[in-house]
Structure 1
Amino acid sequence: MEKKKIFTSAPLPFMGQKRKFLKQFKPALEKYSPTATYVDLFGGSGLLSHTVKSIYPEARVIYNDFDNYRLRLENVYQTNKLLTDLRSILADYPKDKRIVGDIRDIVLNRLQKEEKSGYLDYITVSSSLLFSMKYAFSMEQFRKETLYNCVRQSNYDTKGYLEDIEVVSICYKELFLKYKDLDNVVFLVDPPYLSTETSSYKGYWKLKDYLDVLQVLDRTKYFYFTSNKSSIIELCEWIETKTPMSNPFNGAYTETMTATVNYNASYTDIMIYKI
């Protein structure tokens, strides 16, 4: 019997995936039921859902793929073929150097051909042609960007990543209402961070949106992810002391991790969970 691969990071690039938090997430998860229903309200790359299913095979896991990550996974063969061609085009070009002149035109024409064929995974290709953490979401953007030869040298492997996981794509509020009154349910709550780059997420999030999310933490079992840049924890403490409302984080456990943006900038990632 073939051993199922356990991914420690999302198989395709995704901004905000929780790969660096898995060291804290896994032991915390052991405090929950192995047969619970885990609802990943903001599924993102699906890494939290995959990790839960890997640790608790008998659990029911619902992954809300609101960013259509599944479509990128389904087209990985086409993406790998494109990257193979780019490696050939840039075979004699210096690694990590700016792509200029005729070679740049050849690269862009190859991307244009891929787009016309019906599908181009802009985010994955961005990680191979743009400076670190930059993303283009159209051919027009690619033509305006400075390209670099940082093409991945091996193909992406996504086999089995979402195996036995239920995938939906609906508003998190609708998904929450569907499961909030059921027994033995744990919510995974990882919304786009307030005051953090969110260009690769679908839609635009305002302060009201972040505050609305806190309602899913009321009298539920959950994992909630935020950062010190959002000041959400301090806001909830203020609300508790100044209004009749309660603090949704009372009685919860907190884990932190330093996230580095570049050589002179960092912030604190925060995981709060209630059993």
Structure 2
Amino acid sequence: MIEIPEALTLASQINNTISEKQIVNVVAEHTPHKFAWYHGDPQKYRELLVGKTINMATACAGMVEIKTGNATILVGDGVAFRYHKQGEKRPAKHQLLLEFNDFSSVSASVQMYGGIWCFVDEDEFQYLYYKIGKEKPSPISDKFNKTYFDKLISSQTMQKLSIKAFLATEQRIPGLGNGVLQDILWEAKIHPKRKVSTLKDENKEALYSAIKAVLSKMAELGGRDTEKDLHGNNGGYKTMMSKNNVGSSCISCGGIIKKETYLGGSIYYCENCQLL
């Protein structure tokens, strides 16, 4: 799933790979998918995009925003977005294919669920996560400082929540999802189920520092090794707490890495480092 580090990586790769290429053909909804979301009629994407030039891509929380003339393509967090050189094999199933004037292309394939939205008028595009992602500061940015974080976590309504619920639900920190959450909490030595109300000042300090440090490192290394980039390569950041590590030993203390289902997803934690 695309989260903050992957969105930043994809945006940078798009700018380096397909910027200034002209779109000469568009195939939308090639493979029907029950949980593929579009803006309006996807069959009109061709009319909207053909002849346009790829301008600039930017990360917006766990999404990638691509400007093409007066139109915007927004790729959501459940989408595999891949570049294909001339002659390279394309995926058999995809929900959007853009072909360029140099015979290269990009494809967007929805995995479990995801959005591929195309629109001209941003005010008419009513997607709450996009709006929040635009309004709230990225945790990697300077605007997401200790004062901002302290105000967020000290809110009375946050105290009854678990740390996972606080960090990765309701878009309190847009783009910070269940995937990057695991290593952040391992770095801070906090169990995902622990209540916000139980955190001491030193725990909050460790959590804030971990958010900044882990996300920055993930972005610097091109995303997590559990996710793929524009070219189909795994990210360079080696996850400490993920499906790849279950049952192995924690590199910090030697404890066993556990997996549980919690709040609609999986959590991974060290049985010794992250006591509940």
TM-score under structure 1 length normalisation = 0.27
- More strand per residue: 2
- More helix per residue: 1
